[in-house]
Amino acid sequence: MSTEYGPLAVWGVVVALGLATFGIRASFIHLFGRVDDVPDRATNALRFVPPAVFAALVAPAFVAPEGAIAVVGNERLLAGVVAAGVTWYLDDVFATIVAGMATLWLLRFGI
């Protein structure tokens, strides 16, 4: 894929974004290193960061595996729903993986 930007401009953007990302992360480390007690509102809000990031990474693979939203005929979505149901009732990681993969294999290969 060719662009009208030269390599210096592209590398400049990469370095600038890397420095910005590093600065944001370093500011939180610096901030929480200086604050003795983290406010309860911040602690409660930070509890939801890992599940939100995980959902943002996983949901597109379930809902749009080919790049477009597909609900009908989407075996990954159905396997994910089955795995979510198993995890809701059993709260067991191994059982969730087994149920999700078994459902996916049954739908995909018709075993």
pLDDT tens-digit series, residues 72-85? 888 999 999 999 99
Residue span of the structural domain in which 68 resides: 63-111
Please check whether residues 43 and 67 belong to one and the same domain.
no
On whether residue 105 sits in a domain, the answer given is yes
Tell me the helix, strand and coil percentages in the chain, rounded to 5. 75, 0, 25
Residues 6+ apart with CB under 8 A from 11: none
Tokens 């089955």, located at residue = 82
On whether residue 56 sits in a domain, the answer given is no
On whether residue 55 sits in a domain, the answer given is no
On whether residue 57 sits in a domain, the answer given is no
Does the global pTM surpass 0.75?
no
pLDDT (0 to 100) of residue 111: 64
Name the domain count of the chain.
2
List pLDDT tens digits, range 18-37.
999 999 999 888 887 777 78
On whether residue 87 sits in a domain, the answer given is yes
CA 86 to CA 98: how far, in whole Å? Answer: 10
